[in-house]
Amino acid sequence: MSTFDLTQRMAPFLDMHLIIPLLEFIEPRGIYDEKSLTEMHRQLLSKTNMIDSVIETYNGKPIPEAVEAKKKQIIKERDELKNKVDSVVAILEIPEVKEMMDNNRERDGNVRILEHLTQNHNFTVDMVDTLFKYSKFMYECGNYTVASVCLYYYRNLVNQADPNYLNALYGKLASEILLQEWEHARDDLLKLRAYIDANPFDTEWELVTQRAWLMHWALFVYYNYPKGRDEIIEMFLNQQPYLNAIQVLAPHLLRYLAVAVVTSKSRQKNSLKDLVKVIDIERHSYKDPVTDFLTCLYIKYDFDEAQEMLQKCEEVLSNDFFLTAVLGDFRESARLLIFEMFCRIHQCITIEMLARRLNMSQEEAERWIVDLIRTYRIEGAKIDSKLGQVVMGVKSVSIHEQVMENTKRLTLRAQQIALQLEKGRQDKVKAN
Amino acid sequence: MSRFYRRGASDSDTDSSEDEVEELKVNKSAKFRDDLDFMAGPEEDEKRVVRAQKDKKFDELKSLIKQNRDAKSNKDLNKLLTGFDTLAKAYDKSKTIFQRQNVTTPRFYIRFLVEIEDYVNKLWEDKEAKAALSKNNTKALSPLRQKLKKYIKDHGLTDLVTDYRANPDEDGYETPEDENEDDDFEEVSDAKAEKSPGRQAERVADSESESDSDDDDSFNWSSEPDTNSSDDEESVTKMEQLRRYFLKKEFREESKDDKKDKRKRVIKVKEVVEEDDDDWTPVSREKSVVHFDPKEEVTHDVMIKKLNEVMSARGKRTTDRNQHVANLQKLLEVAEEKQLGLGISVKISFCIISALFELNAKISDYMEYETFMNTLRTVNTLLDLLITTDRVKLSVTYAEEDENLKDENEEYRIQGSILIAVQRLDGELAKILQNADCHSNDYIEKLKAEKDMCQLIEKAEKYVELRNHLGIFDKHEVCKVYMMRIEHTYYKYQDQNVGEIAKTMDYLCNKIYTLDDEKRLRQRAMLCHVYFLAVHDKWHRARDLLLMSHMQAIVDHSDVDTQILYNRTICQLGLCAFRHGFIREAHQGLSEIQNTQRAKELLAQAVGTRPHEKTAEQEKIDRSRQVPYHMHINVELMECVYLICSMLLEIPHMASCEFEMRRRMLSRSFHYQLKQSEKASLTGPPENTREHVVAASKAMLNGDWKKCKDYIVNEKMNQKVWNLFHNADQVKDMVVRRIQEESLRTYLLTYSTVYSTVSLKKLASLFDLSKKDVHSIISKMIIQEELSATLDEPTDCLIMHRVEPSRLQMLALNLSDKLQTLAENNEQILEPRTGRGGYQGPGSWFPGRNERQGDKQKGSGGFQGERRGGPGGPDGKRGNWGSQGGQQRRHPQKQRAF
């Protein structure tokens, strides 16, 4: 049961606050031992400042003193920071400044605003640091709204070369994710990606690691965003550097990529080809029912096993934080893929066999096929209801047609060449 | 040019040039003697001049004779023939002088003639020896024999020869004439004086095989511009003659003395190792150097002074190298006896090691095995000493002035590097193994030293790790030590303890990846790593590492040694892929080497078979690059594997494009083999592995998988191929399975036009496969549009749609094909496409390997289109992380925390 759970493999790439929802998701599923999971959860929380949540996990049991002490200390610290930061926020919330920030463009750099503030509003550079510390603190406390606002200010004040700039970007993204503000999160994600792609890092290795992190965080956004799945394909599969990062560091992301490709409505064909290639290459280092399903279907051509895998996939998907939502979609698309494959290979299939393969009753299958043929206009497929068969129209290409096909464009090409030659000749004449 | 090459199939060019040089020398000395005559002046009496003239002729003849003897002992008949001609001519010229002075034919001349005649006759009769001669030499033999006969007859020397035969001089007898002559003439002849150094050299050679190098030099010097020995010798003799000229009377004694002296030294050299120094008195100059004044107390300063004195003789032409070593050893003894402290001992030991290395005059010569073991022991002792004490710091960074050899209160600082000594020793071992006959027991004996060497290297590594914090090592040195250990490990297959060795290997390679800032060692380490993984069946890791290293792209620009290592690695990787059943990859890997017909050469397992293409210099370099025998990759096995892979890929391919005019060949050499066997008018049962595979291929082409299997897997092949794999049964099963599958594919492709339906059951039973497998194979073929057919599920039949095209249709198809090519070509001419940019799909992430530079042939695109590693793109740094990827991948990354 736990073999296909990815929480443990994903954790190293995520922020602690991002892991919490994952843990909360798997807790009721009984995949792991409950006790150790609660303990884990508590440990994780105690590393943050969300002391109230820690207290909650004790569930009425006596609370250790250390926790109480920590709570007091945190509250004290918060007050101190708050006092300091209030003045800063006051300056930043002046409408004129706010407007400036909203109209700010990345490319101008943030120097202008900072200059303006120091000249007109008594702003000091120390204040920027205070702002960052405060937002970090608030984030740790679980007050993501404040953190996100503060980081928004911070990001507009600080130069890109600042060591904390990247952290601020990550922090902002995390806050938005945890606030479930997907639109904003998406913008932040794009910003972060642009920053990483500009490669401000010292080593290639770090760049790859950053990309791996980014992709993990992106899962939150893209699986909750209407067109997110297409964007996953675009980013994970079609961007070579990101695909490399997956292969080197995080092959388990192939599952999410695979689901995205299978359920994607547009551009499925090419991406499927590429994906299968990658899955095949990485088969030795990562496989799960989702990737195995594609392997069986497109590499081994073993439909029985594909069927088995499809069943396992349901289980895996329903236990995956990101993928539960797309389970139905995935099932539909996977069936369609199987059927398509059948149509290409077979001339005649019994509906009974199909129903078995697709995990449906015979009648259901027949209806489903009818729908399929109607919606996707599968060429030449007809149902012979008397024999209970689906018959494909044979479409073999005769040699006659082949020759036609081959020679079709020749005339045009020849004409083009002739035109070009003519043009070249005239140019020469003119030049002389 | 060393003696070794001269003896081998030598070029006549270089030989003749050498002759010229030597003749030149003769002329020169002759001319000099003219000068001398001139100096003698007219006031000297007539007799002297005449005598000098006669002696001069004698000298000339003798030196020619010596040359001929050399040629004889080298078994170079060609040279002997020409040499004999010159000699005969020279003799004819001098004859008049002899006649004028009533001198009979000199006895040494007769002796020489008899010698040569005997030699030639012996060769002529001894069939075996004759057969062993090179082509050039055989050609020269019969004219030489005839000439000799004719010469003796024509010049009326027959009587003299028979006289001599009746009363021959004893064997090895050199110049009795001289002695006789000396008795005849009251004064010492120049000739004798001239002769003595040469004779000396020969005696040395006789009595002492170790000082071979001296002898070597004495006839090599003429072709060696860098040793100024020729000038030296010339001037020495010149001076000597002048001196003798003025000191006629004393000269004789002195020369004798001199001779005695020298002879004594030779004997000493021989015995010096065992001899106690009490037994002999310091006669020679060198010895006296070591001798301490008994009254004087031996202190540090005295010792250092002595050491410097001894060391000053180092590298001089006159210094006997063996003697040099012995002196140093004596010094060490004294130093330890007097307890002068570690500093001095280490310093002297270090000097001994360098001296031992210098026993060989030339770098290309290999060390004597005994000397090697001796050196190894010395280095080992020194290393032990260095490991046990941390008071001695040995480093290349110290200048000579900074050395501290005597002050006990401080730590000793000495210039030098034990690591470099170890490294050099390693090089010597490689040379010894290269030059040993790899099929003899001797080789095995010598190979035992490899184990000692490994231990020594491990010790050196330990030493490095113990002392690295002191900062006494150069980074490069340290890398080299790790590299040496890698190079002694990577090619050995370990059955047990693989995990441990693999860990060591990972550790060593990672060390180099992090330490080395030059690219070269890192590349080499990476290749060794890949090789190691491949040998131990870690196919995926090996492949990933190789691809991440981007070696395919850079190997063309690296040095030849690295290219050789790359070739070896690729081959080993190919074999590994084959064991894992990755036929296509195996084929790709091996074809790069196998398609060239020069597999052995590219792997540095044999020197090229076409010597005329290379200069002697190049050949020598090539030889020095040869991989020692125990590291060889079995080329026959490789070829067989390659052919099997080709068969599995090519036969279905051939069947599928039966009707196409332009067939694309996957493997040229496989097609060549097939064609060869087709040409044969009568094909017998297959004998060697190659024929087996060809026969199997033919069976497969007919769809007969059982026959095909029998050809591939049988007793003979077991012995030659399959048993050489450590997991033989697994590999055999894999191959049989692949044969079944590919036979099925071939069958379907070949007979698709004949059938309209085939039952899957029938196919399954025909090819002994399960129905499921048949189904999946067929499905794959349909999807990939290899086979135009569809399955009929209710009846479990395959329905073929393919119709054989009529002749007209086929021609039309071909025509349209050709028209298309024509159009393409025209477009190409009009607008030559520059490079191929744009999206190439995730498949082809690698630029194919370019044509190899120099003698390497063009290779196919490596493991092209496999995975990972960005396009060469704007940031060429990718190789960087690639190397680290392997190492860091194992550790989970630190958490991304905000």
> Residue B691 CA to chain centroid, in angstroms?
32
Instruction: Find tokens 């697709």 and name the residue.
Output: A358
Beta-strand pair B789-792/B797-800 = antiparallel
The pLDDT score that the predictor gives to residue B856 is 32
| Contact map slice: A 168-187 vs B, CB within 8 A | 170-171, 174
CB contact under 8 A, A348 and B793: yes
The residue out of B271, B295, B323 marking a domain boundary is B271
| B280, B255: one domain | no
Instruction: Give the gap in angstroms from C-alpha A247 to the nearest C-alpha of chain B.
Output: 7
> Which site among A205, A272, A304, A352 would you substitute to test the B interface, given the most B Cβ atoms closer than 10 Å to its Cβ?
A205
| B526, B643: one domain | no
Please name the helix (run of DSSP H) or strand (run of DSSP E) that holds residue B790, with its range, or none: strand B789-792
Rounded to an integer, the average pLDDT of B602-626 is 76
Q: Does A22 touch chain B (CB under 8 A)?
A: no
CB contact under 8 A, A300 and B819: no
Sequence-distant (6+) residues with CB within 8 A of B215 are: B201, B202, B204, B205
For chain A, what's the residue count? Answer: 432
| Contact map slice: A 102-161 vs B, CB within 8 A | 136, 139
Looking at the domain assignment, is residue B602 inside a domain? Answer: no
Q: Which of B888, B866, B510 is nearest to A212 (CA)?
A: B888
Rounded to an integer, the average pLDDT of B683-705 is 87
H helix and E strand count, chain A: 23, 3
Helix (H, G, I), strand (E, B) or coil at B517: coil
Query: Could you write out the DSSP letters of every residue in A240-305?
Result: HHHHHHHHHT-TTHHHHHHHHHHH--SSHHHHHHHHHHHHHHHTTT---HHHHHHHIIIII--HHH
**With contacts defined as CB-CB under 8 Å, which chain A residues touch B875?**
199, 204
The pLDDT score that the predictor gives to residue B894 is 33
Q: Which two tokens stand for residue B424?
A: 């050099």
Task: Tell me the pLDDT tens digit for each residue of B165-216.
Answer: 777 665 544 444 444 444 444 444 444 444 444 444 444 444 444 444 444 4
Rounded to an integer, the average pLDDT of B84-100 is 75
Rounded to 5°, angle at Cα A202 from A199 and A207? 50
Task: Tell me the pLDDT tens digit for each residue of B542-564.
Answer: 988 888 888 888 888 888 889 99
Q: Which of A204, A344, A399 sits opposite B881 (nearest CB)?
A: A204
**With contacts defined as CB-CB under 8 Å, which chain A residues touch B772?**
302, 304
Task: Tell me the pLDDT tens digit for each residue of B333-346.
Answer: 877 777 777 777 88
Half-sphere exposure of B415 (CA within 13 A, CB side): 7
The residue out of B451, B469, B489 marking a domain boundary is B489
**With contacts defined as CB-CB under 8 Å, which chain A residues touch B791?**
345-347
* pLDDT tier, B658 (very low <50, low <70, confident <90, very high otherwise): low
Q: Does B827 touch chain A (CB under 8 A)?
A: yes
CB contact under 8 A, A399 and B809: yes
The conformational region for residue B135 under phi > 0 = left, psi -120 to 50 = alpha, else beta, is: alpha
Task: Tell me the count of A-B CB pairs closer than 8 A.
Answer: 150
Chain A residue with Cα closest to B814: A403
Instruction: Give the gap in angstroms from C-alpha A123 to the nearest C-alpha of chain B.
Output: 26
Rounded to 5°, angle at Cα B447 from B445 and B448? 70
CB contact under 8 A, B875 and A278: no
CB contact under 8 A, A208 and B878: no
CB contact under 8 A, B842 and A16: no
- The range of the structural domain enclosing residue B455 comes to 363-489
| B543, B485: one domain | no
Instruction: Give the gap in angstroms from C-alpha A62 to the nearest C-alpha of chain B.
Output: 31
Task: Tell me the pLDDT tens digit for each residue of B114-164.
Answer: 777 777 777 777 766 666 666 677 777 777 778 777 777 777 677 777 777
Q: Which of B776, B783, B880 sits opposite A302 (nearest CB)?
A: B776
| B88, B236: one domain | no
How many other CB atoms are there within 10 angstroms of residue B340's CB atom? 21
**With contacts defined as CB-CB under 8 Å, which chain B residues touch A304?**
772
**With contacts defined as CB-CB under 8 Å, which chain A residues touch B845?**
240
The residue out of B695, B730, B753 marking a domain boundary is B753
Q: Does A65 touch chain B (CB under 8 A)?
A: no
Whole-number mean pLDDT of chain B? 71
Q: Which of B792, B827, B831 sits opposite A348 (nearest CB)?
A: B792
Q: Which of B816, B842, B895 sits opposite A12 (nearest CB)?
A: B895
**Interatomic CA distance for residues B257 and B261, integer angstroms:** 6
| B434, B478: one domain | yes
**Interatomic CA distance for residues B595 and B604, integer angstroms:** 16
Task: Tell me the pLDDT tens digit for each residue of B365-383.
Answer: 777 888 888 888 888 888 8
Q: Which of B792, B819, B867 sits opposite A407 (nearest CB)?
A: B819
Q: Does B888 touch chain A (CB under 8 A)?
A: yes
Instruction: Give the gap in angstroms from C-alpha B838 to the nearest C-alpha of chain A.
Output: 13
Q: Which two tokens stand for residue B426?
A: 């390693």
* pLDDT tier, A336 (very low <50, low <70, confident <90, very high otherwise): confident
The pLDDT score that the predictor gives to residue B802 is 72
Alpha-carbon radius of gyration of chain B: 37
CB contact under 8 A, A399 and B805: yes
The pLDDT score that the predictor gives to residue B91 is 76
Q: Which of B783, B841, B892 sits opposite A12 (nearest CB)?
A: B892
Quote the pTM value: 0.68
Rounded to an integer, the average pLDDT of A55-68 is 76
Query: Could you write out the DSSP letters of every residue in A169-196?
Result: HHHHHHHHHHHT-HHHHHHHHHHHHHHH
The pLDDT score that the predictor gives to residue A96 is 75
Instruction: Between B718 and A57, name the one with better pLDDT.
Output: B718
Rounded to an integer, the average pLDDT of A5-28 is 86
Please name the helix (run of DSSP H) or strand (run of DSSP E) that holds residue B136, with its range, or none: helix B135-154
The tally of domains found in chain B comes to 6
The pLDDT score that the predictor gives to residue A93 is 78
Looking at the domain assignment, is residue B797 inside a domain? Answer: no
Rounded to an integer, the average pLDDT of B517-534 is 88
Q: Which of A218, A153, A142 is nearest to A187 (CA)?
A: A218
Rounded to an integer, the average pLDDT of B404-433 is 81
Q: Which of B803, B875, B884 sits opposite A205 (nearest CB)?
A: B884
The pLDDT score that the predictor gives to residue B784 is 85
Mean pLDDT check: name the lowest of A92-96, B216-220, B292-296, B789-793.
Answer: B216-220
**Interatomic CA distance for residues B744 and B700, integer angstroms:** 9
Please name the helix (run of DSSP H) or strand (run of DSSP E) that holds residue A105, with its range, or none: none
**Interatomic CA distance for residues A220 and A178, integer angstroms:** 9
Instruction: Between B888 and A368, name the one with better pLDDT.
Output: A368
CB contact under 8 A, A12 and B893: yes
Q: Which two tokens stand for residue A408?
A: 């079709």
Q: Does A393 touch chain B (CB under 8 A)?
A: no
| B42, B104: one domain | yes
The conformational region for residue B802 under phi > 0 = left, psi -120 to 50 = alpha, else beta, is: beta
Q: What does the domain layout of chain A look like in residue ranges?
A: 48-160+171-179, 351-416
CB contact under 8 A, B898 and A136: yes
